[in-house]
């Protein structure tokens, strides 16, 4: 469903992405990992056109992202995105956060949007906080609301950009649980994360990046059993040691 072909991007002389090729089938869950600065975030931000790229091609459900004639807002509305720092709108209540794009982009009625918001809040265990403001929620709660906000658009795929990196350790699992459920329901997902437990549990494939290149793209079991590249082996030994 998502094809990334020979993607390259540079900032002046710095190579951010170098000839990245990866394909994600419908219902697949891909975990992207690698050292910081390896281009993981940039890669997934290219998928919904938040980051422009110089060379290569990305298609989502048959639509070319880099094409000038592509209606990017329309395409983005079909791809959910969850950010490292949640990025809930601080001036809106939880419900308003989830309703904004439903009403303005999908043109749903207010009642319809609120009903959808409440159903999703119930699903992520946040219904009792529906009228609160983001500032009054913990990080884990905010991230669950952010996931509900993305799901409210009925996306065909979800992008997660280090969704648990900004969380206190005790809140990581409440967010991962929601993501595991989502994966098991068959959502197509690209997840940038260092949570290797999550990768083991639900990922179909692990993509390892370093210095803007995709160094390894392997089925999850194979990746953890025996990474082919030295760099991936080194990375794994560093983050799995404790």
Binding site for another protein (CB under 8 A): 45, 48, 50, 73-74, 76-79, 81, 83, 85, 87-91, 100-101, 104-106, 135, 149-150, 153
Choice between 32 and 101, CB closer to another protein? 101
DSSP string of 98-139?
A: HHHHHHHTS---HHHHHHHHHHHHHHTT-GGGTTS-GGGS-H
Provide, rounded to whole angstroms, the least separation between the CB of residue 13 and another protein: 22
- Give the DSSP letter of residue 89: -
Q: How far apart are CA 181 and CA 15, in angstroms?
A: 36
Q: Which is nearer to another protein, 167 or 232 (CB)?
A: 167
In the three-class reduction of DSSP (H, G, I as helix; E, B as strand; rest coil), residue 33 is classed as strand
Nearer to another protein, 48 or 59 (CB): 48
Toward another protein, which CB reaches closer, 48 or 95?
48
DSSP 78: T
Q: How far is the CB of 167 from another protein (least distance, A)?
A: 16
Residue 152's nearest CA partner among 176, 182, 118 is 118
Q: Which is nearer to another protein, 153 or 206 (CB)?
A: 153
Residue 70 φ then ψ, to 5°: -75, 135
* C-beta of 19 vs 112, nearer to another protein: 112
Quick check: helix, strand or coil at residue 3?
strand
| Residue 95 Cβ vs another protein, minimum distance, rounded to whole Å | 15
Minimum Å gap between C-beta 41 and another protein is: 11
| Residue (88 or 175) nearer to another protein, CB | 88
Buried b (16+ CB within 10 A) or exposed e, 188-218: bbbbbbbbbebbeebbbbbbbbbebbbbbbb
Q: How far is the CB of 235 from another protein (least distance, A)?
A: 26
Cβ atoms of 131 and 94 within 8 Å: the answer is yes
**Gap between the Cα atoms of 161 and 150, Å rounded:** 13
Give the shortest CB-46-to-another protein separation in angstroms: 12
CB of 112 to another protein, least distance (A): 16
């Amino acid at each position: 469903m998502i094809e990334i072909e020979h993607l390259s991007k540079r900032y002046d002389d710095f190579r951010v992405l170098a000839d990245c090729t990866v394909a994600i089938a419908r219902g697949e869950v891909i975990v992207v990992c690698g050292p910081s600065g390896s281009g993981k975030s940039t890669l997934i931000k290219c998928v919904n056109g938040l980051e422009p790229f110089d060379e290569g091609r990305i298609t989502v459900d048959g639509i070319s992202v880099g094409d000038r004639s592509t209606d990017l807002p329309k395409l983005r509305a079909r791809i959910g995105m969850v950010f490292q720092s949640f990025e809930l709108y601080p001036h809106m209540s939880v419900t308003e956060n989830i309703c904004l794009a439903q009403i303005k982009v999908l043109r749903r009625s207010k009642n319809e949007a609120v009903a959808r918001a409440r159903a999703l809040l119930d699903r992520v265990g946040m219904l009792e906080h529906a009228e609160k403001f983001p500032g009054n929620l913990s990080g884990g709660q905010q991230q669950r609301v952010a996931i509900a906000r993305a799901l409210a658009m009925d996306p065909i795929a979800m992008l997660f950009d280090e969704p648990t990196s900004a969380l206190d350790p005790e809140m990581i699992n409440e967010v991962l649980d929601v993501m595991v459920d989502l994966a098991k329901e068959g959502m197509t997902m690209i997840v940038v994360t260092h949570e290797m437990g999550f990768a083991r549990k639900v990922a179909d494939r692990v993509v390892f990046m370093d210095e803007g290149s995709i160094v390894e793209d392997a089925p999850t079991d194979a990746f953890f059993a025996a990474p082919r590249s030295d760099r991936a082996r080194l990375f794994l030994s560093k983050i799995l040691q404790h």
